[in-house]
A and B are shown apart, each in its own frame.
Chain A
Amino acid sequence: MREGRYGDFGGQYVPETLMGALIELEEAYGELQEDDAFRERLSWYLREYAGRETPLTYCEHISRDLGCRVYLKREDLLHGGAHKLNNTLGQALMAKFMGKRRLIAETGAGQHGVATAIAGAVLGLPVDVYMGEVDTRRQQLNVFRMELMGARVIPVRTGSRTLKDAVNEAMRDWVANARETHYLLGSAVGPHPFPRIVRDFQSVIGEETKRQILEREGRLPDTVVACVGGGSNAIGIFAPFLRDGVSLVGVEAGGEGIDTRRTGASLCAGSKGVFQGALSYLLQDEDGQVMETHSVAAGLDYPAVGPEHALLRESGAVRYVSVTDREALDAFRYLSRREGIIPALESAHAVAHALCAADDLDADGIMVINLSGRGDKDVADVARMQGALA
């Protein structure tokens, strides 16, 4: 297999103007993986600053409801409130070691933007965050959080004015400024080496989960469930379990249903395509134009998915399903009420699937749900939706 390929998927489908920066990044990443000073600094930041390791919480009430043993991997308790910081600390530190003087990032829900703002502030690197104008309106609180931490938020007014357009703008900035600037891509998408870098930095989730569950249960889980937008939290928790015979389930955003045009489920409803640097699965029309997507969870509102997920789907190593907005909202309320944990709407997709997947497990069955983020950012939105429904 060629470097940067996942089966047929992945690759470096970028303009020539970006190749120099990608090659530099690939070489730097290869060197830093072997660099003890880098690894020690990163593990210090993850432990002392970000709050790793995160708990693996046994959930008594859900376990009783579902008739199996349910654990939540608590990435919601990571500093910043989501798994995103694992990757932003890793990449920001890389940028620092590479001598870059500025970070840029795209953000959808705002979680990756916030995590980049955090990493930039603590590592002393200025941060510009591109964010679709639609998203800046639905995630005003996160815009304010980023600005509080010294980041500049640049609203993107092209295309559908959401995450994919923010990625386009960030790429344009990078093309023009790659010598000084590191593009801190937030999910396991884009051209090689980004999918691998993001997977590696997020794998800490799965490594901890594996160690924790072995300590607690003396065996591996039967099922691991995670939500998939670009797919960084999912690949992070799946990667260490890929050869273990554990049933892995990725849950996509069905939106209003995968048979409608208002969906974000690229693996369940899309087809092969080349988008933002990689060959993967893509929501597109018959001419290859990228479709506008929909999900109640802004972080899953993206027309493509990381190329490694495309391969894992084809090889059958991971099963991909989708849940609708409504099911995710029900799960959002359910987890809040039963366990006192308000999940991010993204993570609520994984919870929603878990609620029906438990039928396959008996009382000794073990299920781990990756709770990739907390739901504080979504509370105002959900309150508005309930008001609209009432």
Chain B
Amino acid sequence: MSRIAEAFSARECPAFIGFMVAGDPDPDAAVRIALTLIDAGVDILELGIPFSDPGADGPTIERAHERALRAGTTPDRVFGMVRAIRSHSNVPIVLFTYYNPVYRRGVERFFAEAADAGADGVLVVDLPIEEAEPLARPAARTGIDRIFLIAPTTSEERRKRILDAASGFVYLISLEGVTGAREYLPAGIAASIRSLQRLSSLPVAVGFGISKPEHVRALCTAGADAVVVGSAITQVIEEHMGDKEAIVREVHAYVSGLCAARRRDQDAGGCDGEEGRVPG
């Protein structure tokens, strides 16, 4: 069983997927922060490969890309970080990247190096199913899962195509827009999750806009197999820029809190039973 499949097997509660930009604020600190995320309870780590033009991201994550690039983060160094994290932990690692760094390197080489470093999945954010064919063979050959996004605007027919090609899990975007923390989750998310779960056996991870314990609780209730938090973690990093000890401490506290929100619900018996309200 792959590390990603294992992370989803026999779970009572949704898995917690934590995202950060690899190299934010610099490559060495980023490894420490990644290990902190894992220590705080992250079940799957998503590492963003910094790119000069992260058009799918909101301002918080875009600034993280800029910081990482200024600190000299390259794809080579990201693979180095994966290796460093892997030497301490077995947590599955998904690389979240824009296509140009992959294309420039060569898709075959990128997947071979990612697998060699210990990555488990690749999500290319600007590669919709129509353009994703070049990834199929390199992914199959290296055993790396291909993670795809599904948006609220994705048609039923395209959802099926995406689910056919996807492996590991599928990433349901909760709202129309770019990444970034939001006050409320959209209504109707539970129905979207259920319809994807009916179409395939792949776990459904829900992301974009999630920042609060009550969001996490609501998604538990809505039946998500995983929740993804990215911008909110990045914001904690940004708020404590210049004090690495504080970053580690605050990231740990924040992520532990979100993970506990999930467990508290379970203690209350509400993880997959009790009716909960999705804010907004």
Contacts and interface: CB of A to CB of B under 8 A. Distances in A.
B87 interface: no
B126 A15 contact: yes
Number of contact residues on A: which range applies? 35 or more
Given A16-B150, A20-B154, A290 B100 contact: yes
Given A11-B131, A14-B126, A19-B128, A176 B176 contact: yes
Contact of B149 (A16, A172, A176, A277): A16
A12 B130 contact: yes
A168 B55 contact: yes
Contacts of A159: 52-53, 66
B62 interface: yes
Given A164-B53, A175-B177, A13 B126 contact: yes
Contacts of B101: 287-289
A288 B103 contact: yes
Contacts, number: 113
Contacts of B190: none
A284 interface: yes
A379 B59 CA distance: 35
Contacts of A31: none
A75 to B, nearest CB: 30
B131 A12 contact: yes
Contacts of B162: 16
A33 B137 CA distance: 39
Contacts of A17: 56, 149, 151, 153, 173, 176-178
Given A164-B53, A289-B69, A172 B131 contact: no
B99 interface: yes
Interface string A264-277: 00000000111111
B105 interface: yes
Interface in A277-322: 277, 279, 282, 284, 286-290
Interface string B142-162: 000000111101110010001
B75 interface: yes
B55 A172 contact: yes
Interface string B96-122: 000111111100000000000000000
A13 B53 contact: no
Contacts of A172: 55, 58, 177-178
A275 B177 CA distance: 19
Interface string B45-76: 00000011111101100100010010000110
Contact of A273 (B69, B100, B150): B100
A238 B131 CA distance: 29
A179 B155 CA distance: 14
Q: Which of A17, A168, A273, A275 has the most CB of B within 10 A?
A: A17
B103 A273 contact: yes
A interface: dominant SS: mixed
B104 A273 contact: yes
Contacts of B99: 13, 274
A105 to B, nearest CB: 16
Given A14-B128, A159-B52, A19 B153 contact: yes
Contacts of B154: 16, 19-20
Given A172-B55, A276-B53, A20 B155 contact: yes
B40 interface: no
A142 to B, nearest CB: 24
A276 B55 contact: yes
A186 B176 CA distance: 24
Contacts of A175: 56, 176-178
B35 to A, nearest CB: 25
Nearest to B63: A158
Interface in A188-221: none
Contact of B100 (A167, A179, A274): A274
27 contacts: A11-B130, A13-B127, A13-B128, A15-B126, A16-B128, A16-B148, A16-B173, A17-B178, A19-B154, A19-B158, A20-B151, A158-B59, A158-B66, A159-B66, A164-B53, A175-B176, A175-B177, A175-B178, A176-B176, A178-B153, A275-B100, A277-B126, A284-B104, A287-B74, A288-B104, A288-B105, A290-B53
